[in-house]
Amino acid sequence: MSILKLGYARVSTQDQELARQIDALNSYGVDEIFTEKITGTKANRPELLKLKNKLRAGDVVVIESLSRLGRSTKDLLNLIEEWNMQEIKLISLKENIDTTTPTGKLLITVLSAISQFERDITVQRTNEGLKAARARGRKGGRPKANIKQVEKAIKLYHAQVHSIKEITAITGISQATLYRALKNNG
């Protein structure tokens, strides 16, 4: 089986054009191009999934820019790591990165360190925020359900007059709270 050079192009909004990316990928000589026009926040990328399913060891993925592949540094690095383990080469034209060269490997290592730093900072800030909130007397988590409303809901349930939906509307508690109370209290 021959090595495939597969291109991937993505735009984040319907107004953006894929033409520039497609031209760059065609100039590089890719065998096939997978294109997506989706918002950058959507995790569902069917064309990327098709590309991933087609890849075999030794294949090459060509992108116009690293920003087109991942929505975040973490996403990008996870994908690159996955492909490295599968012996799939990644080439980014804009950044002139080839993940099989020493320079490309170094850059990925630096990006990994930056991603880990971002995660550590996020955890640190979250913990500091929680600590400050506790110092001000605030508690985390959801407020407890009103016990009287839960008891009323259980009575309504056992009376078998109302549906679950009606009971939750009458009492103002969620279905999950009602089911949990029924499981715990009968």
Dihedral sign computed on CA atoms, order 179, 180, 185, 186: positive
Among the listed residues 2, 12, 27, 163, the single catalytic one is 12
Q: Which residue has the tokens 């999934």?
A: 49
Beta-bridge mates of residue 6: 32, 61
- Predicted confidence at residue 63, as pLDDT, reads 95
- Under the banding of pLDDT at 50, 70 and 90, the label for residue 11 is confident
**pTM of the predicted structure, to 2 decimals:** 0.62
The CATH architecture to which 5-101 belongs is 3-Layer(aba) Sandwich (3.40)
User: What are the tens digits of pLDDT across the range 63-106?
Assistant: 998 888 877 778 888 898 899 889 999 999 998 999 889 998 89
Is position 112 annotated as part of the catalytic site?
Answer: no
> Which run of H or E residues covers position 116?
helix 102-135
Burial of 47 (0-12, 13-18, 19+ CB in 10 A): middle
So what's the pLDDT on residue 98?
92
For the stretch 140-178, pLDDT in tens is 777 777 888 899 999 999 998 999 999 999 999 999 988
Residue 171 burial class via C-beta count within 10 angstroms: exposed 0-12, middle 13-18, buried 19 and up: buried
Q: How confident is the model at residue 42 (pLDDT cuts 50, 70, 90)?
A: low
Give the strand order in the sheet containing 97-98.
32-37, 5-11, 60-63, 89-92, 97-98
